[in-house]
Amino acid sequence: MRWNTKSDNILYNQLNFDRKNDDIPLTKREVLRQSSRIFDPLGLISPVTVTSKTLYGQRLWKEKLNWDELLPCSLKEEWKSIAMEIEEATKTEISRQKHLNLMMRKTRLNFIYLQTPVNKHMARMPI
């Protein structure tokens, strides 16, 4: 994450996961290495990053794959889809001034918390 002082915008370091490069074998080790490159301290792109770090990571563990074993085709295609979403999300550019103004307003926010029984993940929705 970096700050463009000229436009006063907060930018993410754009990630490129080399989805089309078949020279890099997609293993559990490689997928977890790639997903750990995401740095989002403000949680602005967390809807996308949570998918890669928790949901997909859990699937890799449940499959009981070895660290350097190639992923099955279904998991490989799913990772390519997640990687594409992450690449798009890291192109996000946020105006710092607008973000600060929203935080400084004395607005009351109400949230609904939803929890699914299967994955035990929470979602937060402003109302």
DSSP annotation of 105 reads: S
Rounded CA-CA distance 10/6 in Å is: 11
Q: Is residue 126 part of a domain?
A: no
User: In this predicted structure, which of 33-42, 93-102, 104-113 has the lowest mean pLDDT?
Assistant: 104-113
Better-predicted residue by pLDDT, 97 or 69: 69
Better-predicted residue by pLDDT, 28 or 47: 28
With beta carbons less than 8 A apart as the criterion, state whether 72 and 55 touch: no
70 — pLDDT class (breaks 50, 70, 90): very high
116 — pLDDT class (breaks 50, 70, 90): low
Sign of the dihedral through C-alpha 118, 120, 121, 122 = positive
Q: Is residue 127 part of a domain?
A: no
Q: What is the pLDDT of residue 71?
A: 92
Q: Is residue 123 part of a domain?
A: no
pLDDT digits (tens, 9 = 90+) for 6-34: 888 888 888 777 655 667 788 999 888 88
* Residue 66, pLDDT above cutoff 80: yes
Residue 40: how many other CB atoms lie within 10 Å = 17
Task: Please report where in the chains the tokens 């099955």 appear, as a residue.
Answer: 72
Q: Is residue 24 part of a domain?
A: yes
* DSSP-assigned beta bridge partners for residue 2: 11
Q: Is residue 11 part of a domain?
A: yes
Q: Is residue 124 part of a domain?
A: no
With beta carbons less than 8 A apart as the criterion, state whether 37 and 104 touch: no
Both tokens of 26, joined, read 């997609």
Helix (H) or strand (E) holding 66: none
With beta carbons less than 8 A apart as the criterion, state whether 122 and 112 touch: no
Q: What is the pLDDT of residue 13?
A: 83
The total number of structural domains in the chain stands at 1
Q: Is residue 85 part of a domain?
A: yes
Q: What is the pLDDT of residue 108?
A: 58
With beta carbons less than 8 A apart as the criterion, state whether 40 and 52 touch: no
Q: Is residue 18 part of a domain?
A: yes
Owning domain of residue 57: 2-114
